[in-house]
Amino acid sequence: IAVAALTFTVWLFFGPAPALTLALVNAVAVLIIACPCAMGLATPTSIMVGTGRAAQMGVLFRQGSALQSLQDTKIIALDKTGTLTEGKPKLTDYVVAEGVDEREALQLQASLEYHSSHPVARALVQAAQELGLELLSVENFQSHTGLGLSGEINGHHIATGSSRFMQEQGLSVDSFAQQARALAQQGKTPMYLCVDNQLRAMMAVSDPIKQGTPETIAALHALGVKVAMISGDNRNTAQAIAQQLGIDEVIAEVLPAQKAEKVKELQKKFGTLTFVGDGINDAPALASADVGIAVGTGTDIAINAADVVLVSGKLTGVV
């Protein structure tokens, strides 16, 4: 800019006519030659070095713009299952209603869950197989996204899922309320089973916190960034996990289709937002966030929707 100003002054006072026109042309010429050259060399070089160094640390930048956006992040929102946790839940508790056979209830539920790919479904099927229970054939199987499953076994209508799903079936879960509250406070997720519109059992699954998660959240707080958790779990379970990890904002009981909407709400409240997720239902949220970070051990859809991929799958890569 100084050289351009000097050029303008010299041409204006010592140049031939039309002095003003020639002074402007030559001053602008200096700017055009100098500035894009510096930008054209410095910017690609810095991006290349930055993304190369990140790759050595197991972080893949799919979009160069993420380098710029990340430094402005005010809040990081994380999916729970498979991101904060291992994504490999295990059946920990099984409580049946009075007069109900526990093995029979688990057999019916596992038979229904066998047709789902959800991690919780796999946990229940594994528990049934460990007890040597034979899985029964299911007719009219239906998956109700974010709520539960339903189908028919030997002429009986079977439904399993969250308390919200039971309420949609016209059932009250108050008979298990005390046990459910106690389990949720331990960070476990309560689920229910009904047969022919009668509540038969309540079970709880626990998903271990992923190694490195507490350290990651502490490091993000040290950077001055707020941390939020978006989960489909009931509020008590989500609050228990958030309290254990020191998470600032908790958004619970979120259906998969609502995740992107919740991301936009957080953006309006806090500003620039980075979302971290791993599942198919995280893809819209990853795309809606200012920066989407996918856990590399997650689904291909999530990875394709993200700007940054943690190749190792370790949450510490976020920091």
Please choose, from the candidates 204, 235, 234, 184, the residue with its C-alpha nearest in 3D space to the C-alpha of residue 96. Answer: 204
248 is catalytic: no
> What's the maximum distance between 2 C-alpha atoms anywhere in the chain?
106
Cis peptide before 18 (omega within 30 of 0): yes
Tell me the C-alpha distance between 107 and 88, whole Å.
21
Instruction: Tell me the C-alpha distance between 252 and 175, whole Å.
Output: 23
Catalytic residue among 72, 79, 290, 300: 79
Strands of 273-277's sheet in order across: 59-61, 308-310, 291-295, 273-277, 75-79, 226-230, 249-251
Q: Under DSSP, is residue 295 helix (H, G, I), strand (E, B) or coil?
A: strand
Q: With contact defined as beta carbons under 8 Å apart, do 73 and 100 qualify?
A: no
Q: Which among 302, 209, 281 is positioned nearest to 247, based on CA atoms? A: 209
Contact indicator for 307, 288 with CB cutoff of 8 Å = no
Question: Would you list the DSSP string of 15-82?
Answer: SPSSHHHHHHHHHHHHHHHHHHHHHHHHHHHHHHHHHHHHHHTTEEES-THHHHHHTT--EEEEEIII
Q: Are strands 226-230 and 75-79 parallel, antiparallel or unpaired?
A: parallel
Q: How far apart are CA 168 and CA 288, in angstroms?
A: 30
What is the distance between the alpha carbons of residues 221 and 75, in angstroms, rounded to a whole number?
A: 10
Catalytic site positions: 79
